[in-house]
Structure 1
Amino acid sequence: MTVTSNDNTSARTFKHLSPYERGRMQALLQEKHSLRYIARQLNRHPSTISRELKRGTVTQLRSDLTSYQAYFPETGQTMYLKRRSACKPKYKLAEVEAFLQFAQTKMLKDKWSPDTVVGVYKNHPKHHGQAYVSTKTLYNYIDRRFLPVRNIDLALKVRRKGKSHIQRKNKRILGDSIEQRPKDVEQRDEFGHWEIDTVSGKRSNDHALLTLVERKTRHMLLLQLPDKTSQSVCQCLNSLQERFGNLFPQIVKSITADNGSEFADLAVRLAQWGSKAYFSHPYSAWERGTNERHNGLIRRFIPKARSIRAVSPATLQRVQAWCNQLPRKILGYKTPQECFEKELLMIQ
C-alpha cells in the first residue's frame, strides 16, 4: 500500500482555523518548516497561514534582554475572537426610531401583532424609503426590552398550548356535510361564503355572542344573543336578511356551522332566502378555522371570566370595528373592511 504525506481531504470553504490547527501550526513552525509545507499539512491556502502568523506573532525578551519574535496559538485565538466580536451587526435603533414609535403605539394601543406592524409599515406609501426592521428582529427587540412592549402584551406568544385528544361519540349531522361544499368555497375564490359560531358567556344562563366571518375577506359580524337557542340564532339571521335586503343571496351564499343545537334550523332558514348551509364534522373545529381565529380575537376584549350580559352594544361595535380594521398579512396587509366593501361594490 502506498502512503502519501499529502492530505487529499478538502476543507470546507471559508472554515475558520480551529485552536487545534493553531497548536499544530506552532509545532510545525518550531520544527523550522516553511509556510507552504504547513499549508499543505493543514490543507489550507498559504495566505491563510501567513495571515494567522501575523496575528499570533508577538515580541518576547530573553534573559539577556535581547528580543525575538515567536508565534503563540493562544495569541492567535484571542485576536481571532476579538475581531469576530467586532464583526457582529450593530443594533440600528437610532435609524429606526420612527418605526419603533409606530410599532410601540400599534402593539400597545391597537393590539396589533409584530408581523402586522412590520407589514403595514413597509407597504404604506407614507413610510416609503424609511428604515424598519424585520418581524424576527422586532421580536428580538421586545425580548431584549428595547421597547416598553412585553411578551405578555402579545396575544399569542404566551398562550401556546398542546393539543389534547379526547374520543367522543359523534353527534348527528344537521344538514349537508362540509364535504359537499364546492371547491370555490374551500379555496376562498368566491365572495359570500361565511362561517358561523357562538361564543358562550360566563354562566349557563348568561347571554352569548353570535359570530359570522366571511371566508374570503375575513369580515366579521358580531351579534349578541339572549341565549344559545335555535330561535335566537334565527332571529339574528332575520335581522341580517332585512339589513342586506335583495342582495342577501349574493352576500350570503352559504354558511358553514358546527353541529350545535343552536344551528338546528339553520339549513331550513337559509333555504327560504336561496342560500345554503353546510356542517363541519363533529369535534372538528379546525374545519372552521377562520371563525375560531376570530373568536380568539374577541376573547382578547371579552375574556371567559366576563359576563356577556354586561357587555354593552357600544363595546361590541368597538370590538367588531377593531377586528375589521386590523390589517391582515393574508390580505396583503389590507383590512377586512376594505376588502368587504370592495366586494360589495362589485355586486351592487
Structure 2
Amino acid sequence: MSRREAAAAVSVHPRTAAEWDLGIRKSGGRRIYADGRVVDYKRGVTTMTSPALAPPTAALEKLIDPRFLSVQEREMIRDLKASGSSMRAIASVLGRSASTISRELGRNADALLGYLPHGAQRKAAARRPRPKNAKLAGESDLRDYVKAKLLIRWSPEQISHTLVKKFPDQPEMRVSPETIYQALYVQARGGLKREIQAALRTGRTRRKHHQSGEQRTSRFVDPMVMISERPPEIEDRAVPGHWEGDLITGAYNQSAIGTLVERTTRYVMLVHLPNDHTAETVRDGLINTISALPAHLRGSLTWDQGAEMAAHKTFTLATEMQVYFCDPASPWQRGSNENTNGLLRQYFPKSTDLSAYGPEDLEHVAQELNGRPRKTLGWDTPAERLRDLLLTT
C-alpha cells in the first residue's frame, strides 16, 4: 500500500510516517535523526549523540550475516505472533528453527509492551559488540560462589548446573562451564586466581586439545576426495591419462610454476603462473594447460593439500577430471611428480624469481625433460611413450 494508506492504517499523520521512513524519531519533545543529531525544540538546542549510543537506523538494520535475524524477519515474527501463530508455525514460515524463535521472543521482548521488532533489533545490536567483559573478571556474588565451589573441588559443569537449581529466579547467577574454564586458563580474561587451577581434577595449568593430529579438518569448503579412494587402475599405472601435480616456488614463495606429470609415460607439462599462485590463478592455468590434451588423456589429477587447490571443484567441472588429494606430509604418494620437481631444479634453482621465465622458457624445459631417456621406461623417452600412446588410440 502507499505510505498515506499505511499511515491511516496505524493512525499516524502522513508526515510522521515520512519521518519514520527517513529514520527520524520523536521522544520527549526531541527529534532524533538517523545521523545522530538531536533537536530539542523546548530548549532550542541541537546536539550530536554518540554513535555508540544512537547508531544510525541503516547501521542497525544492516544484515550482518544470514544466520542472524533481520528486521524484516522480526517484523514477520511480530505479525505472525499477533495473528495467533505458534512458534513452530512462525519458524516454518521463516525457514528457521523453533528454538531460534523461542530465544528471540524470550530475549528481546519488552516486559510491558511485548515483542516489538525494531526494539528487538536494537537489543540484539547492543549485545553484538566485542570484546565483552569476562563474566567472572569482576567482584560479584557469582564469582564468589564459583570460587568457593572450585576450592572444594567441584567441576565447572557441576557448578553450572547447581546454580540453576539453587538460584532459579536469579538470571544473573548463571555461568556456563566453558566460561569458568576460560576464567581459569586464559589469564588475559582474568577472573580466578591461578592457585584455584590446582582444584581442577586434571591439575593442568593449560588446556589440552582432545583432537589428535591425525584428525585434521578439511582445508577447503568443497570436500576433498582422498587418494585412498583412487581406483586401483590408477594406482598401478595400467591406464594412461592420470596426472600428478604440484607447484615449485621461487624466492620467499612469491613466484611459482605449476608442474604436471603423467603417471604412465612420465610426460611433463609446465603451467605458467606469471603474477601469483592463488587458487583461482592456479585453477585457470591448469584448465588452459589440460585443455590441450585429448579427452582420453584427461583422467584424473593427484595433488597435495596445498591452498592453491582450494578451487578444485570448479577445475573438475571445467575439465571433467577428478582431483584426488594426498595425505598430509606424504610426498611419496606423488612420487613421479616429486622426482620431476627435483629434475626441474636444474633449470629453476631455489631462491630465484620464477616469474622471470615466460611460456616459451617453460615449453623449452618441458621438451628437454620429455626428450630424456628414462630407466623406468626401458630407456624410452616420455615423448616417445606419449607418441606411441596417441598413435595406438
- TM class, shorter-length: 0.3 to 0.5
**TM-score normalised by the chain length of structure 2:** 0.43
**TM-score normalised by the chain length of structure 1:** 0.48
